[in-house]
Amino acid sequence: MNFLLTWIHWGLAALLYLQSAELSKAAPALGDGERKPNEVIKFLEVYERSFCRTIETLVDIFQEYPDEVEYIFKPSCVPLMRCAGCCGDEGLECVPVDVYNVTMEIMRIKPHQSQHISHMSFLQHSKCDCRPKKDVKNKQEKLIFLPSPSPCDSCLTRRAEQD
């Protein structure tokens, strides 16, 4: 009789284990960023998600603190809200219009000397907007070299020597 009860006990335990294993393998509910394979994303969702907005971006600490090359930072990058996205017009760019500082604890390591956790401030973007790009055309015009109609004496001398 004990043998039969033990078999039933182990059988139920195995059945419960297999059932919970099947449930844990079930696909997660579709949420933001989770998609079925080969699912087509609708135009409106693509458009809304690609437009100029704040989005969490991993930023390298050395990008924000380029003069602190003597340190190794842990972590080496931090998650910050930054402006990104498209504006729908080549003459516009996505820029921050409202920003604030956030302070984070970062480990600063000076190799073979010291390591400590310190507070470091980073700029976060809280609001973005599409604004006209800075006038690139004027910058390009300044870089264009226009030769003078009559060459200078040293240029004429160099050309004569080359011939």
Nearest CA to 126 out of 106, 100, 104 is that of 100
CATH number of 67's domain: 2.10.90.10
Does this model's pTM top 0.75?
no
Binned at pLDDT 50, 70 and 90, residue 133 comes out as very high
Among residues 84, 80, 81, 82, the alpha carbon closest in space to that of 51 is found at: 84
- Name the burial class of residue 72, with classes exposed (0-12), middle (13-18) and buried (19+) by CB atoms within 10 angstroms of its CB: middle
Residue 66 lies in a domain: yes
| Confidence class for position 148, pLDDT limits 50, 70, 90 | low
Residue 28, in any domain of the structure: no
SS3 content of the chain, % helix, strand, coil (to 5): 35, 35, 30
Alpha helices in the chain (DSSP H): 2-24, 43-50, 61-64, 136-143, 153-162
Residue 108, domain member (yes or no): yes
Specify the higher pLDDT residue, 16 or 136: 136
State which residues form the domain around 49: 41-134
Per the domain annotation, does 48 fall within a domain? Answer: yes
- The domain tally of the chain equals 1
- Establish if 123 belongs to a structural domain: yes
Q: Does residue 16 sit within a domain? A: no
Whether residue 29 is contained in a domain is answered as no
Which range (55-59, 123-127, 144-148) has the least confidence?
144-148
Q: What count of Cα atoms within 13 Å lies in the side-chain half-sphere of residue 77?
A: 9
Q: Considering only CA atoms, which of 88, 81, 82 is closest in space to residue 51?
A: 88
* Joined tokens for residue 140: 């390009």
Question: Please, what sign has the CA dihedral across residues 72, 73, 74, 79?
Answer: negative
Distance CA 81, CA 53 (A): 10
- For residue 149, is it within any domain? no
Run of H or E including 130: strand 114-132
pLDDT tens for 61-105 read 999 999 999 999 999 999 999 999 999 889 999 999 999 999 999
